[in-house]
Amino acid sequence: MNFQALRRKSTFERQLMHPALSALFGSTLALAGLILSSQAMAQEKRIIVYNAQHESLAKEWATAFTAETGIGVTLRSGADSEFSNQIVAEGKASPADVFLTENSPAMTQVEQAGLFAPVDADTLALVEDQYRPSGGHWIGIAARSTVFAYNKTKLTEDQLPKSLLDLAGPQWKGRWGASPSGPDFQAIVSALLQLKGEAVTSDWLKAMKTNFKAYRGNNTVLKAVNSGEIDGGIIYHYYWFGDRARTGENSSDVELHYFRNGDPGAFVSISGGGVLASSKHPQESQAFLKWIVGKGGQKVLREGTSYEYTVGRGEPSNAALVSLEDLQAPKIDPQTLNSRKVTDLMTDAGLM
């Protein structure tokens, strides 16, 4: 075969191969485009959560939600008022999609600034009425009960205070403690303010300044009660349950007293969740909120180590807990709790 023939054959083979190569190249580009598109979608399906809930609980929620839905969750953890003030300062420019708190006054602050989107109606329907505000711009996601933790070697049941207000009496001077700088105690005071008014609350706080010992954090209060440093302290129930479930090191001599009868000391604090009106991913954010108060999120509460109460309709709490009904908590619309007024009153009393 001469050179010209070989050249014609080579050209003919290349012409035959071109369509196949072209198709292959096109498929490769399409696949690359699909991968990039999927990566972009995955990137888009990621929400930012300002989380003031316990970090371990929020991580459990986020991990399970992502596994079920494919929507990523970035948690930024801090304190209730720290984040509520930050959100108000950021306004519509906030990078947050969702805000989760331990206590409701911080939620009310953001709501009053007009920065929450309405919660989807089908999500609201998942939560009992008393565990969500009447305005519908955020929703209860968990609950915790106020208790008087007492040292059982120092107090008998008949010596326990009948009301939170009793702790203002001279007989309790130097015998009880609390963590006034924390959002938990401030939420309890906000309930007292709502139920009894400013004058009673102000007098109680001033008497408290004289009577109590200040600690930093509920676990520190629990430890002081257990050691006998104080006879009792105001905390939330789950600190005791959590310590008992671990080692009991700081609760072995401690029992819990529930005030009941609608007393301010029987206050049940609502942890809240809301979607920012400025969210760049409103659909995914609403889905996260719905998942938390639905079966998946409430199961994490029930079976996890947080020992907080469930608030979803028909979702039982951990069997070790006193039922919410038996707590006889006062009925308070969480939307009415006033954190700023509480801060003013506590400052006036010398507690902050």
Residue ranges of the annotated binding site for Fe cation are: 54, 102, 238-239
Q: Are 77 and 70 in contact (CB under 8 A)?
A: no
Task: Supply the DSSP symbol for 74.
Answer: E
Dist CA 334 CA 317 (whole Å): 20
Copy the structure tokens of residue 345: 């009153």
Distance CA 13, CA 332 (A): 84
- Cα separation of 136 and 165, whole Å? 32
CA distance readout (Å), 101 to 55, 108, 297: 11, 11, 15
What CA–CA distance (Å, rounded) separates 21 from 233? 78
Coil, strand or helix: which one is 54?
Answer: coil
Q: At what angle do helices 183-211 and 339-348 cross, to 10 degrees?
A: 20
Q: What is the CA radius of gyration of the chain?
A: 28
The three-state secondary structure class of 236 is strand
Phi, psi angle pair for 310, to nearest 5°:
-80, 155
How far is it, in rounded angstroms, from Cα 92 to Cα 137?
16
Measured CA to CA, the distance from residue 137 to residue 76 in angstroms comes to 21
Binding-site residues from annotation: 54, 102, 238-239
For 187, the 3-state DSSP assignment is: helix
Closest CA to 283 of 67, 102, 117: 117
